[in-house]
Structure 1
Amino acid sequence: MDKTVSQIIKERRIELGLTQLQIANRVEVSEGTVSRWESGNIANMGRDKIAALAAILELNPGIITGWDEEATIAPSAVKIPVLGRVPAGIPFAAIESIIDYEEIPIEMARTGEFFGLQIKGDSMAPRILDGDVVIVRKQPNIETGDIAIIMVNGDDATCKRVMHHENGISLVSNNPTFQPRFFTAQEIEKLPIQIIGKVVELRGKF
């Protein structure tokens, strides 16, 4: 008898030696939600959760969606969602809808949670151009000089190089025509300023 999607999810999790709580933490859902998925309640699973779960379990997303009944374990790569455009200039609210997918090596996917973001603007030119996609590893802290995706005021997302100082941080553009933006430690807490993740790869578009 063919296995159900919920059976595949559970068996694959156990095969990889992962607990429901570990899956929940990485997909950013509750442990109870993972339990429901493994019990067959997957009708309302969002596309971002499908992509994240597939990456963690090293499965083709088609297995979870049921779109590809012949899909098997992905041999070398997994798909991650590309989220709404993020300005590389004056920040504006990031669109959270999935607009595309990119593949990353399975070895990379095992090291954390990844997603893609499409850049708008030229403040990170000439290295990162309007329309390019950056691959981001979700992490709350980065080293000074790293390029990151930062949330400003809680709902504005921007791509900038982060420089740490004793009394705050600066968000620096590659394009010298854009002035650095400095935030004090108090502003970081009040606005707030939040590091969403580190840019680890650039997918240039032509």
Structure 2
Amino acid sequence: MELKDIILDYKNRYQLSNKEIAQQFHVTHITVGRWLRGEVKTIQEETAQNMSRVLGYDVQSVLQGTAITLKKPVLGMAKAGYDMFLENDYLGEESVSLEEYQRGDYFLKVEGDSMINAGIVDGSYIYVHQCETVKNGDIALIRIGDEVTIKRYYKDRTKVELVAENPTVEPRVFTSKEAEMLPVKVIGKVLFVKHYL
């Protein structure tokens, strides 16, 4: 991975201006522009340390092509069912690749079997990108009032439908008005699931 790729990913992920990036990395916005154009391919040690602190991984190792292990937190339990609440406890960390590190935000341990046909089983870990919108059919982490669930999400002008991946679990359908009142809100997109034997 090149320096320009690291900076571009960070800029796009957090919707930052060159000036904001410059402030965080303690360089000028002109330097950030040169990085983004690929005019500069190496950085000074002090700058690398600042970048590593902000990004959460060893930038020099990535630039040198050295394999690095990165960690994301397991922030609690998510229920693959209904009428259950998200438990917000730190349960440890899971290893991820650099690409996964840049795409997602945290893991949740799954309880329940409503998403079993999607490979999301009781005791597995889902990796979540925190967001407020997903495409129709995406598997999402959804808040329904105080309850949190993992389901396939479908929305049109008149309704929101949450569909399980288990034939014994009925879909839940909310009118647009009900979805607004409760509320029914996407709080993350499930990127992948991890299983341990």
Query: What residue identity is the alignment partner of 2:181?
Result: K
Percentage of matched positions with identical amino acids: 31
**Alignment RMSD, CA only?**
3.6
Tell me the CA shift for residue 203 of structure 1: 0.2
For the pair shown, the structure with the greater C-alpha radius of gyration is 2
Q: Matched residue of 2:87: which SS?
A: coil
**1:168-201: CA deviation from partner (whole Å, max 9, x where unpaired):** 1111110010100011111221111111111111
Tell me the CA shift for residue 17 of structure 1: 5.8
Flag structure 1 segments of 5+ consecutive residues without an equivalent: 1-15, 39-52, 61-71
Match of 2:150 among 117, 138, 159: 159
Matched, 1:128 2:128: no
Matched, 1:109 2:74: no
State whether residues 77 and 110 of structure 2, in contact with CA within 8 Å, keep that contact through their aligned partners in structure 1.
Answer: yes
**Corresponding residue of 1:186:** 177
State whether residues 55 and 79 of structure 1, in contact with CA within 8 Å, keep that contact through their aligned partners in structure 2.
Answer: no
| Alignment: residue pair count | 159
Report the TM-score when normalising by structure 2. 0.67
Report the TM-score when normalising by structure 1. 0.64
Tell me the CA shift for residue 160 of structure 1: 0.5
State whether residues 55 and 80 of structure 1, in contact with CA within 8 Å, keep that contact through their aligned partners in structure 2.
Answer: no
Distance 1:132 1:83, change over 3 A: same
Flag structure 2 segments of 5+ consecutive residues without an equivalent: 1-5, 27-50
State whether residues 83 and 117 of structure 1, in contact with CA within 8 Å, keep that contact through their aligned partners in structure 2.
Answer: yes
Write 1 or 2 for the structure with the bigger share of helix: 2
| 1:44-193 alignment runs, 5 A limit | 57-59=55-57, 75-111=67-103, 113-126=104-117, 127-153=119-145, 155-193=146-184
| 1:9-24 alignment runs, 5 A limit | none
